[in-house]
Each structure stands twice: as structure tokens, then as C-alpha cells.
């Protein structure tokens, strides 16, 4: 599978868009969505919540398991995807488009985010 080149990725399988006016979009990767199986419930951070890079900020429940959602950056939530709350299957069907999870005003970005090529290498063979 090939990941969008314009995104950056965490080792916990979240993706991060480039910032527009200081706000980036966050979702989980296609690799993570496939590993989870059919997502049936999404608990996302609320507008105004502060998230910290590498710490849990929500969860996704699938027919296989419950998985913590980690923030790839530190910042304040500006929006969450109500469409995913209403129809969690969007995480599986469109992880890089309509299945995004939340938007965050980034105050700190860790240096260890991966490029698409680096993330592809991390997940190769899995």
C-alpha cells in the first residue's frame, strides 16, 4: 500500500496533514484501519481539549478490539469529525479522506514523525 506523500506519520499509525493557518488534520492510516477491522465506534477528543504528542486522546472500537487513539502532536482541538462519530466505518472506507478524525492547532510537533516512504518501510511485511 502506498501512503500519501504530503502527509507525515507517527509510529502509532496516525497521519498528520500539513498545517493550514496552524491547524493540521489527524487520522489513522490505512494500515491501522485494516489491522483494526470494521470500526463500529469512535470516541474523539472534543473541541477545546488539549492533546499531547504520544498520549491517548480517544479510542476506536472495532469488531476485533478496542484501540487507543494517540495524538501525533501537541495542541488544541479545533474540530472533530462528526461524520466519523455518526458512521465509524468511514475510518475503514476512506482513512485519508472522509475518515479523518480531528483537527488540531499545533503548538508542538515531535521530531520523530515519519515521511510516507519511512512509514511504508516501517509497515512493510506486516
d(CA 37, CA 120): 20
In the chain, what is the straight-line distance between the N-terminal and C-terminal CA atoms, in Å?
11
d(CA 41, CA 60): 6
Whole-prediction pTM value?
A: 0.94
Tens digit of each residue's pLDDT, the chain (126 residues): 578 999 999 999 999 999 999 999 999 999 999 999 999 999 999 999 999 999 999 999 999 889 999 999 999 999 999 999 999 999 999 999 999 999 999 999 999 999 999 999 999 976
Count of other CB atoms within 10 angstroms of residue 94: 16
Amino acid at each position: 500500500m502506498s501512503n500519501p506523500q504530503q502527509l507525515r506519520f507517527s509510529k502509532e499509525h496516525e497521519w498528520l496533514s500539513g498545517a493550514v493557518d496552524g491547524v493540521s488534520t489527524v487520522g489513522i492510516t490505512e494500515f491501522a484501519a485494516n489491522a483494526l477491522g470494521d470500526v463500529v465506534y469512535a470516541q474523539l477528543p472534543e473541541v477545546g481539549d488539549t492533546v499531547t504528542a504520544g498520549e491517548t486522546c480517544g479510542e476506536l472500537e472495532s469488531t476485533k478490539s478496542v484501540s487507543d487513539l494517540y495524538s501525533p502532536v501537541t495542541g488544541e482541538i479545533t474540530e472533530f469529525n462528526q461524520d466519523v462519530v455518526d458512521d465509524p466505518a468511514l475510518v475503514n472506507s476512506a482513512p485519508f479522506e472522509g475518515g479523518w478524525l480531528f483537527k488540531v492547532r499545533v503548538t508542538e510537533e515531535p521530531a520523530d514523525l515519519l515521511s510516507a516512504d519511512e512509514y511504508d518501510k516501517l509497515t512493510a511485511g506486516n
